[in-house]
């Protein structure tokens, strides 16, 4: 086996900053905690607020719009918004293949608008650098019968799957199989494992849910305080940063009428993450038994902050505008869609989300959620584990980083060359900055971090973060003094606002970001 490391990139879907155990949460994640204890936890790493843009950015080392996935997977008539990875970018798999890596993917793709089995597959995993693929091409999926389940380039027939098929387990099992199949190969591998958990719907196994029975009965107010205390003790947060207030749309816990249903929502969500962690444990076991655990760079993160969407889309299902999948279980029972307190979520015949109040807990101590670029939308855990190169164990790293840095890091540790041309096409310059200096607690020279999603914009440079919630005004925070964004100092610092907003404007121009009003009009008019 080569001295160059294997790379295992694990990303999950719609999880808050502080859900997992080693970031202060209630969810039992012994395997992620083990990686954290044997490696590093970044406290200020950022995704880009939503599934598709994040996946485009992490795969390519570019900002989402540069890869033509500035919004979701619709063609919105602008180059930055084609909903389909373009040919002026390369994926990590494409680059590492040129350096002799074997490349595998298990999980959710979600960077193409061509999702049907009969549609063009030029931007499917196998055509974008992966030797092997198993997973789903689209987003949000029923865990027992996911849409667009695909092996290599072919649709998987649900009838060919065992009765107890469950997507989280299938993603884990496939990753284990790749690791084991690769064991006698001489080249290193890149394995991208993209879980859909804990994205809605709230689907989990009874025995996993049972482990959390009563764990959330204290309610969101007390649990947010408890998390804050644990996070401060771990050192993730400066003790001077105040906890953000409870989401103003939500009642205090003591006034909540449907406490049993509310608690159950969070129990199922916790069980979804727990199940993923169990699978990660099996992948780590496979690496270990093949003697590959120490020389594998393992990176774990979430694709966006906790999701506050309250599911109520009966009409969408009926009109087919939002294809949540089949309306019946595999054995023919009708699925009860929507967040209905009369229906306890978790089973195959339910389809719910955990909603605003629990997303608010998931993102403790921050405010806002998936979609927005305040800290609750973009702050993610990032665990890095690589014993042969990273001697520090259980330490925290506070320097900031962004998704584009993952490509830069992979290119460096693999000894690969990021190309200027690929398949005859000019490739846009890499935007990321390698994280390896930060592994050794040294600055990596990153100048600014910049975001845009649905008109929500942010720039972070030095102590400052300029951020707006569309269509609102710029807010300015000193993130060293006030990372929880409770003290807006924009009015006192007009020159900083002017300087950072100019940086954002120039970046938007360079990366093909269009005004959200224009993009939204294209979506509304149906001219896409
Ligand atoms: Ca997501």
Q: pLDDT (tens digit, 9 = 90+) per residue, 262-285? A: 999 999 999 999 999 999 999 999
Task: Tell how far the Cα of 424 is from the centroid of ligand 1, in angstroms.
Answer: 32
State the Cα–Cα distance between residues 120 and 123, nearest whole angstrom: 8
Catalytically active residues, by annotation: 51, 110
d(CA 466, CA 477): 7
The 3 state secondary structure assigned to 295-340 is CEEEEEEECCCCCCCCCCCHHHHHHCCCCCCCCECCCCCECEECCC
Helix and strand tally (H, E) in the chain? 14, 19
Distance 354 CA to ligand 1 centre (A): 14
Nearest CA to 259 out of 309, 221, 230 is that of: 221
Phi first, then psi, for residue 389 (nearest 5°) are -115, -30
CB of 465 within 8 A of CB of 241? no
Ligand 1 midpoint to CA 14 (Å): 4
Residues of the chain with pLDDT under 70: 1-2, 314-325, 527-528
CA of 240 to the centre of ligand 1 (A): 30
Three-state SS sequence of 464-481: EEEEECCCCCCEEEECCC
pTM greater than 0.95: yes
| Residue with tokens 């919630």, as numbered in its chain | 469
What is the pLDDT at residue 380? Answer: 98
Residue 324 has what pLDDT?
Answer: 61
Place of tokens 């959200």: 516
Other Cβ atoms closer than 10 A to 130: 26
| Chain segment 186-211, per-residue pLDDT in tens | 999 999 999 999 999 999 999 999 99
CA distance 404 to 468: 22
Ligand 1 centroid to 193 CA: how many Å? 14
Alpha carbon of 284 to ligand 1 centroid (Å): 24
Tokens standing for 409? 């890091």
Rounded distance from Cα 107 to ligand 1 centre (Å): 13
- 263-283 burial code (b ≥16 CB/10 A, e <16): bbbbbbbbbbbbbbbbbbbbb
Q: Tell me, in angstroms, the distance from the centre of ligand 1 to residue 437's CA.
A: 28
* Mean pLDDT score across all residues of the chain: 96
């Amino acid at each position: 086996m080569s001295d160059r490391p294997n790379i295992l990139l694990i990303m999950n879907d719609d999880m808050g900053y502080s859900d997992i155990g080693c970031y202060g949460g209630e969810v039992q994640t012994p395997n992620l905690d083990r990686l954290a204890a044997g490696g590093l936890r970044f406290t200020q790493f950022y995704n880009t607020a939503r599934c598709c843009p994040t996946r485009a950015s992490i795969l390519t080392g570019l900002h989402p719009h540069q890869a033509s996935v500035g919004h979701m997977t619709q063609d919105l008539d602008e180059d930055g918004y084609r909903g389909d990875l373009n040919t002026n970018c390369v994926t990590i798999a494409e680059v590492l293949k040129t350096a002799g890596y074997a490349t595998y993917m298990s999980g959710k793709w979600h960077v193409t608008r061509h999702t049907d089995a009969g549609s063009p597959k030029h931007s499917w995993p196998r055509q974008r650098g992966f030797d092997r693929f198993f997973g789903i091409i689209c987003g949000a999926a029923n865990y027992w019968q996911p849409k667009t389940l695909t092996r290599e380039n072919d649709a998987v027939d649900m009838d060919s799957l065992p009765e107890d098929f469950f997507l989280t387990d299938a993603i884990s099992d496939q990753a284990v199989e790749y690791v084991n199949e690769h064991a006698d190969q001489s080249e290193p591998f890149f394995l991208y494992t993209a879980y859909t958990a804990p994205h809605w719907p709230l689907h989990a196994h009874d025995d996993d849910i049972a482990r959390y029975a009563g764990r959330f009965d204290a309610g969101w107010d007390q649990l947010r305080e408890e998390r804050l205390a644990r996070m401060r003790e771990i050192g993730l947060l400066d003790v001077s940063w105040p906890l953000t207030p409870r989401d103003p749309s939500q009642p205090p816990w003591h006034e909540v009428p449907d406490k049993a249903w509310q608690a159950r929502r969070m129990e199922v969500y916790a069980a979804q993450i727990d199940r993923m962690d169990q699978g990660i444990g099996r992948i780590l076991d496979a690496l270990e038994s093949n003697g590959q655990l120490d020389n594998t760079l393992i990176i774990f993160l979430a694709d966006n902050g906790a999701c506050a969407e309250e599911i109520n889309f009966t009409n969408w299902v009926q009109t087919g505008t939002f294809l949540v999948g089949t309306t019946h279980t595999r054995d023919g029972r009708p699925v009860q869609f929507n967040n209905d307190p009369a229906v306890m979520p978790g089973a195959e015949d339910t389809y719910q989300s955990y909603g605003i109040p629990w997303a608010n807990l998931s993102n403790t101590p921050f405010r806002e959620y998936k979609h927005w670029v305040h800290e609750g939308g973009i702050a993610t855990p990032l665990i890095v584990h690589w014993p042969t190169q990273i001697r520090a164990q259980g330490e925290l790293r506070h320097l900031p980083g962004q998704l584009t840095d993952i490509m830069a890091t992979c290119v460096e540790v693999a000894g690969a060359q990021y190309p200027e041309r690929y398949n005859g096409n000019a490739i846009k310059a890499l935007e990321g900055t390698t994280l390896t200096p930060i592994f050794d607690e040294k600055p990596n020279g990153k100048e600014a971090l910049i975001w845009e999603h649905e008109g929500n914009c942010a720039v972070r440079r030095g102590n400052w973060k300029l951020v707006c919630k569309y269509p609102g005004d710029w807010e300015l925070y000193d993130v060293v003094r006030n990372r929880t964004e409770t003290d807006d100092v924009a009015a006192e610092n007009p020159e900083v606002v002017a300087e950072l907003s100019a940086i954002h404007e120039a970046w938007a121009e360079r990366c093909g970001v269009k005004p959200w009003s224009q993009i939204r009009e294209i979506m509304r008019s149906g001219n896409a």
